[in-house]
Amino acid sequence: MPLTQAMPPSGVDGLLGLTFDAVLFDLDGTLVDSTPAVVRSWLTWAAEENLDPGFRDHMHGMPAPEIVLALVGTERFSESLRRVLELEHQDTEDIAPLPGAQTMLSSIPVGRAAIATSCTATLASVRIKAAGLQAPQLVVSYDDVSAGKPAPDAFLKAAAGLGVHPSRCLVVEDAPAGIAAARAAGCRVLAVTGTHQADDLLADAVVDTLEGLEFQSVGGNLQLVATASLQGHSV
């Protein structure tokens, strides 16, 4: 007999049934699709600097200041970073929330979620606004920490800001640098593909989309649940 069943997206099974005190989200590539705008900005800058654009392949997820410093050194750092941020602030065309992102955020009670991003505070604000995202009250940016991802500082600060222990947090990320930061902070990690292939994301669970996933309160804790209904399955 055909039934409507709730089935977890592939790869998420290992997190279902676990409980958390809070959920910490990366921003770009996780909650909002800013990839076209980011690529346009960095390729423009790379062309201006006569740089090989391939640097993005292994630096995605790292804070802009650290990428710029690694590529141009200290002498031209300030000027180059200013130009990169100028390009990124100007280009907000086609930035949008990723599928399932707003639903997942909305399922979490106030004060139990935060964003921990490699963006500066102003750039994070610009992209959240451009995407029309209803973001958590707490947003930890690169400006708030002494070291960016893959250092754990952003996630540690976000957990502290919510008053919870990092080991009781689930991090949602899209990049190896962010996953490494979450691991170093002692968090479990749900990774979403898009900017990277699944094989590059060494997380507790990897999904292709956040659609069909949200959180429910269980005994005062948060539990990841699958809500996607698949038609036509029989038992």
Read off the tokens for 116.
């921990």
- Please give the C-alpha separations between residue 114 and each of 20, 80, 105, 137, 170, in angstroms, as whole numbers: 13, 30, 9, 7, 11
- Alpha carbon 38 to its chain centroid, in Å, reads 14
Who contacts 160 (Cβ-Cβ below 8 Å, separation ≥6)?
A: none
HSE-up of residue 142 (Cα within 13 Å, Cβ side): 20
151 to 121, 123, 192, 209, 219: CA distances (angstroms): 18, 20, 20, 25, 32
Clarify whether 26 is annotated catalytic. yes
DSSP 115-132: EE-SS-HHHHHHHHHHHT
| 123 phi, psi to nearest 5 deg | -70, -40
Catalytic residue among 13, 21, 28, 33: 28
Q: Which of 26, 91, 153, 204 is an active site residue?
A: 26
Whether 144 is catalytic is no
Q: Which amino acid is at 122?
A: T
User: Which of the residues are catalytic?
Assistant: 26, 28
